[in-house]
Structure 1
Amino acid sequence: MTKEMDIKNDRHYTASEIQVLTGLEPVRKRPGMYIGSTGPKGLHHLVYEVVDNGIDEALAGICDTIKVVLYEDNSISVEDNGSGIPVETHPQTGKSTVETVLTILHAGGKFDGSAYKVSGGLHGVGISVVNALSEWLEVKVRRNNKEYMQKFERGIAVSELEVIGTSTSTGTTVTFKPDSEIFETIEISSDTLKNRFREMAFLNKGVKIIIEDKRSGKEKEFYYEGGIKSFVEYINKNKNPIQKDIIYFETQKDGAVVEFAMQYTDGYSENIFTFANNINTIEGGTHLSGLRTALTRVMNDYGRKYNILKEKDENLSGDDVREGLTGILSVKLGEPQFEGQTKTKLGNSEMRGIVESSTYEYLNNFLEENPKLAKTILDKSIGSQRARNAARKARELTRRKSILDNTTLPGKLADCQSNDINITEIYLVEGDSAGGSAKQGRSREFQAILPLRGKILNVEKARLDRILNSDEIKIMITAFGAGIGTEFDIEKLRYGKIIIMTDADVDGAHIRTLLLTFFFRYMRELIDNGHIYVAQPPLYKITKARKEHYVYSDEQLDELLNEIGRTGYSIQRYKGLGEMNPEQLWDTTMDPDSRILLRVNTEDAVAADEIFTTLMGDKVQPRREFIQENSKFVKNLDI
């Protein structure tokens, strides 16, 4: 880390640099305003807030190890070897700085820009919110050759800061138990934390993050000396790179750090993930715009210079040059501005030019020095361009009128009467038999039915031109009305809910995975905006004394049999939707008042990409390992 990015100095991080902005009282009254929700997402956000403090110390070059421990009573401890929270009396509050930081909202060393030049936690809400939403919290500080401790309950100090011993090291340990009065559940998922900590370790090379789960006895360490180069390697581990080495650069410009790593694969999907001060900028922003502009410009300039692109050839588009590209862009800047619906879009206008000029300059030199690889990349981009032109012609065939008027096409749409996207929904149904029952049992006012014949094309192994020649995919694109790929426009979507309804067997699961892969790769906004659902048809029908009961899991079956008695009943195991008549299908799976729908989301895009690559990609061994590792979670397997 350069001097420009360094903390001033451990000795200068003192009480006077802790700035107090407001009080803590509103947090317990409206926790959702501060952590987003009181569900699992908000619960895990508490842990990230505390870990972020250690990462901020790491960005300043004074912390290299963070350890998180999950205890059996659902408490959590986070320990770092940074400088330790200052312990002196705060000039504004008259309390110790430790107590000030933990009991007053936005009291921290990050807000006036003097102590920390770069902070990931700026996007967060501070450790005081963690304190306010915890049943109890205990903080230990190692500083000044002493160890200090203070205890809190629901945000209120219940002890004074006191010296409890000596210490030859520095750092902070925060142990807290989330408040069950606030959260729907206080059980932390170690898998959720691991995904986030892996990402943080990639983004901060040389920082070690350890998670120990006392509940399971397992411990995992994340440490990547290669930083985001290792991140790209991780994402591409089950793919086929067309280049051996990862292209990488790190540079400083106008007070900001730009770090970029990239590698091309023989696949067709673009996977560029962007971060600003360690925050995953899911919605992109100015840094991503600068990167994309530079990539497109440098490839076209090189192609023209060396006559790889002929005079009569059109320029490569951004989609062409990013086909099969995996990239990680990480920027660090002093005053990040976050915008967008979820505050995950970088808005700093200066970052567009900084990233664009840095990327163009480096890649231009790289291509000049590596002509063979440059030719390989350009050839792949030109192949993408040809496929894009073919896809444009194929796309014309997906216009709604021409397709829906053609009754010979497979998968005939039974549309609904309403045009109100707030109530309309379309069921993607496996096979004509189930499709027939669904058409008869539905509410014609707001429910459309689209039967799919067989398994759709595996889009993980196909370019867009081939995808658009698939009849089943064409009819879906037309029915949804919003286009595909870069032309996708969610404003034109005709249905508020797109519901996958398949049989509860192996074939049904495969069709579901194929559809989800298609949506993730080519209609990602449908998932991000909560439009994709999976229907949950019942597994069993139990009849006793002419009364029918439907259950959706083996656990529910057990409960029902205990309730109605385990004699004098008959049981039917549903293997396919076609076994249900229209009334049964409506009552169990399609009636909004009684059905069960699972909404599909991808909070972790990297993990989702890994799963789809593993399940639907070319490599057999990773798929075999995935199945072996996850087979224990499978229920109701029908083979």
Structure 2
Amino acid sequence: MKKNSQYGNESISALKGADRVRKRPGVIFGSDSLDGCQHAVFEILSNSIDEAREGYGNEIIVTRYADHSIEVEDHGRGVPVDYNANEKRYNWELVFCEMYAGGKYENTGGDNYEFSLGLNGLGTCATQYSSEYMDVTVRRDGAEYSLHFEKGENCTGTKTGFKKKKYTGTDTGTKIRWRPDLEVFTDIQIPETYYLDVLKRQAVVNPKLRFIFRNETPEGIKETEFYYENGISDYVTEIAGDKALTSVQFLSGERRGKDRSDKPEYKVLLNCAFCFSSSISRLEYYHNSSWLEYGGSPDKAVRSAFVSAIDAHLKQNNKYNKNEGRISFQDVSDSLILVTSCFSTYTSYENQTKKAITNKFIQEAMTEFLRSGLEIYFIENKAEADKIAEQILINKRSREQAEKARLNIKKKLSGNLDLANRVQKFVDCRTKDVSRRELYIVEGDSALGSCKQGRDSEFQAIMPIRGKILNCLKADYDKIFKSDIITDLLKVLGCGVEVKSKSNKELSNFSLDNLRWNKVIICTDADVDGFQIRTLVLTMLYRLTPTLIEEGYVYIAESPLYEIECRGKSYFAFDESEKSEVLKQLDGKKYNIQRSKGLGENEADMMWETTMNPESRRLIRVMPEDAAATSEMFDLLLGENLSGRKEYIAENGWQYLDFADIS
């Protein structure tokens, strides 16, 4: 404990001016990392969008420069920067240096920015404060104004704080170029993909507003344009492509109300475009042009309205089976392409970064608006309504079947390996220390016998594969989990399965902590059939338990190709080059050479020496570089190219495993 520390009236301090942002960027932008830097860009962009939506300008140009500076130019009315008699200050101070000021706060009875993306009043000022520099050019009132800021300070060098010259052109607007400061943000290298995503989204929710993105590259400026004549309707049509099950519907309406009786009344404009598809799903929510990544009120409204309206249609038309349960929103969303774009004069965001809204009235108004719109749509479009009903019921019944399969599989794979739940012919080891336990997966009863006799029973267990394992690359999950060979092996592994499938996502109950083994070793004969069985086992593990491969738990035991006997001693060669080396050592001596027998024909001591002894065996650790490359390899080995597969297995079978571990 510090004895001399003081905490008195002089101990309290407040951040002032630019320090309010520069020292605490996370408070304003949600982060001091690249996410926060990107949010600062959106704050500037949103002001230009607000201008255009008010009817001033139909084009916004965004430039990403190679030095990581950004420029946003619009054709709006131009930001007022001259002297403000009401405030007795220059407007540039209010806009660029005052945290809560701007045209969206005016209290003069005007109607500027009724539906604004930037009502918080922080954006322009906060971005200026967090910049290494910011250059502003404004064209309005027959003049061109220019200002220069550095690290939150006006450094224009004039008494007024700006330079002003006569402008005779008719085009008004604002151009702002700035470079985010690395003293504020940990990263300012905003990728091209961010701009392409944001500008496309803004074009979607702002019909007839053209966005031009200019990206400076070593080859010059590359331009990309975004424009949607009919806004979200065109966007839904684009997403659906030729996979649409129904026509695109557009609903629009206006409501007025309060979030609470003691709160002020406000107006909300509601827009929704949607269609149904048998193969595509997408839900996107926007409010005052801002993409609501987490939805909030609109998402809750959509969930309630669509389930209610579709459920009512199913009941009215006797589509449910007897005693069948109600549909869920998952059943609807699996086939729904929907985009909402709403605007309100008052908005309650979940936080400063505007990723969700919480307005109670917007949720209630939107629920009623969508429900009534769907009811009318279903009445007026009976054929499409029946198509939707059939598809949603297919989704529902598929989900329920997958859930039933998941529960059955979980029950089947759970439980300890005791006498009441024994896997046929599985031979366990004695130790319970998982860090030592090794599982050998072998082919057939004959290999089981030789491996069982040749192993160290303290830490080596044997799991035989009875017959040919199912090709898990091609088979569906229902068929896979009906295979006793596969479910028995999964029981022995103990870690469960991780099914990477949208329709079967509930099936995943994988836990690496429950794995009973330190090494899972695939041990097959060194011939074409052995390679095929090895590949089928690997494919099963890759599809059902890929983490075991990714984390390096899976190995292949190499078997020798040749056994060379000389004067009562045996030498083993794993390939042609090793055979040549052995024969050189035996030069002049009499020897006998033969292809190595199958594992089941090997003596116990030979099995121990060549395949199971940690001091002399050769294990190949399966460590795929990446999942895509592994998938391509499995497609080659197990796909439709039969001749290619045979040639590859015969000539290169072992070479697709890159990392060898000799332990």
TM-score, normalised by the number of residues in structure 2? 0.59
1:183-262 equivalences in 2 (<5 Å): 183-215=185-217, 216-237=220-241, 240-243=243-246, 245-254=247-256, 255-262=267-274
Aligned equivalent of 2:518 = none
SS at match of 2:115: coil
> 1:515: Cα distance to partner?
8.0
Residue 180 of structure 1: CA displacement? 3.3
1:55/1:63 contact within 8 Å kept: no
Alpha-carbon distance change, 161 to 582 in structure 1, aligned in 2, over 3 angstroms: farther
Q: Compare 90-99 and 399-408 and name the one that shifted more.
A: 399-408
Provide the rounded CA distance (Å) in 2 between the counterparts of 1:346 and 1:30.
Answer: 24
SS at match of 1:399: helix
> Which structure 1 residue ranges, 5 or more long, are not aligned?
1-20, 410-416, 418-430, 433-452, 499-506, 520-530, 538-580, 591-595, 599-637
Counterpart of 1:83 (choices 73, 77, 80) is 77
Q: CA deviation at 1:485?
A: 7.8
* Pairwise CA distance, 1:139: 0.8
Counterpart pick for 1:120 among 113, 117, 128: 117
How far is 1:147 from its partner? 1.5
**Ranges in structure 2 where 5+ consecutive residues have no aligned partner:** 1-14, 257-266, 425-431, 433-440, 443-468, 516-534, 554-616, 628-657, 659-663
Q: Does 1:147 align with 2:158?
A: no
Aligned partners of 1:262 and 1:325 also within 8 Å: yes
d(CA) in 1 for partners of 2:124 and 2:278? 45
One-letter amino acid matched to 2:318: N
Tell me how far 1:478 sits from its aligned partner: 7.6
Match of 1:304 among 315, 318, 336: 315
Offset at 1:306? 3.1
Counterpart CA distance in 2 for 1:235 and 1:270 is 9
**8 Å contact from structure 1 (residues 35, 125) kept in 2:** no
1:28 corresponds to which of 22, 36, 58: 22
Aligned residues: 465
Q: What is the aligned partner in structure 2 of residue 178 from structure 1? A: 180
User: Is the 8 Å Cα contact of residues 49 and 121 (structure 1) preserved in structure 2?
Assistant: yes
Deviation (angstroms), 1:253: 1.3
| Superposed counterparts of 1:311-390, under 5 Å | 313-339=324-350, 344-390=355-401
Deviates more, 1:56-65 or 1:338-347: 338-347
Distance 1:233 1:253 in 2: 27
Shift of 1:30: 1.9
1:107 to 101, 107, 119: 101
Determine the C-alpha separation between the residues in 1 that align with 2:58 and 2:46.
Answer: 13
Check the 8 A contact 1:394/1:469 in 2, yes or no. Answer: no
d(CA) in 2 for partners of 1:240, 1:404: 44
**Aligned twin of 1:156:** 153
Aligned runs of 1:395-406 on 2, under 5 Å?
395-399=406-410, 402-403=413-414, 405=416
Residues 118/385 of structure 1: CA separation in 2 closer, same or farther (3 Å cut): same
Aligned-partner Cα distance in 1 for 2:325–2:59: 51
Counterpart of 1:384 in structure 2: which amino acid?
N
Task: Summarize the Cα distance change of 1:75–1:343 in structure 2 as closer, same or farther, 3 Å threshold.
Answer: closer
Change (3 A) 1:376 1:26: same
- The one-character-per-residue Cα deviations of 1:287-315 (angstroms, maximum 9, x if unpaired) are 21111111111112222323334675443
Distance 2:98 2:618 in 1: 59
**CA positional deviation for 1:70:** 2.3
Do the aligned residues in 2 keep the contact of 1:145 with 1:169 (CA within 8 Å)?
no
What are the within-5 Å matches in structure 2 for residues 557-568 of structure 1?
A: none
Q: Is the 8 A contact 1:134 1:154 kept in 2?
A: yes
In the alignment, is the contact (CA less than 8 A) between 1:77 and 1:174 conserved in 2? yes
CA gap 1:369/1:486 in 2 versus in 1, 3 angstroms: same
SS at match of 2:387: helix
1:133 is aligned to 130
1:428-447 alignment runs, 5 A limit: none
Aligned-residue offset at 1:158 = 0.9
CA shift digits 1:257-277 (9 cap, x unpaired): 11111121212x642121222
Q: Quick one: which amino acid aligns to residue 61 of structure 2?
A: K
Larger Rg belongs to: 2
For 1:51-70, list aligned pairs within 5 A: 51-70=45-64
Q: Which moved more, 1:166-175 or 1:24-33?
A: 24-33
CA RMSD, 1 decimal:
5.0
Shift of 1:386: 2.0
Q: Is the 8 A contact 1:108 1:126 kept in 2?
A: no
CA distance in 2, matches of 1:32, 1:583: 50
The whole-number CA distance in structure 1 between the counterparts of 2:415 and 2:121 is 49
Higher relative contact order (CA 8 A, sep 6+): 1
Q: Which residue of 1 aligns with 2:600?
A: none
- In the TM superposition, residue 376 of structure 1 has moved relative to its aligned partner by 0.8
Encode CA deviations 1:159-204: one digit per residue, 9 max, x unaligned.
Answer: 2223223141221110112223333443332222111110111011
Change (3 A) 1:44 1:321: closer
Q: State, as a whole percentage, how many aligned pairs show the same letter.
A: 26
Q: Partner amino acid for 1:261? A: A
Letter in 2 for 1:164: K
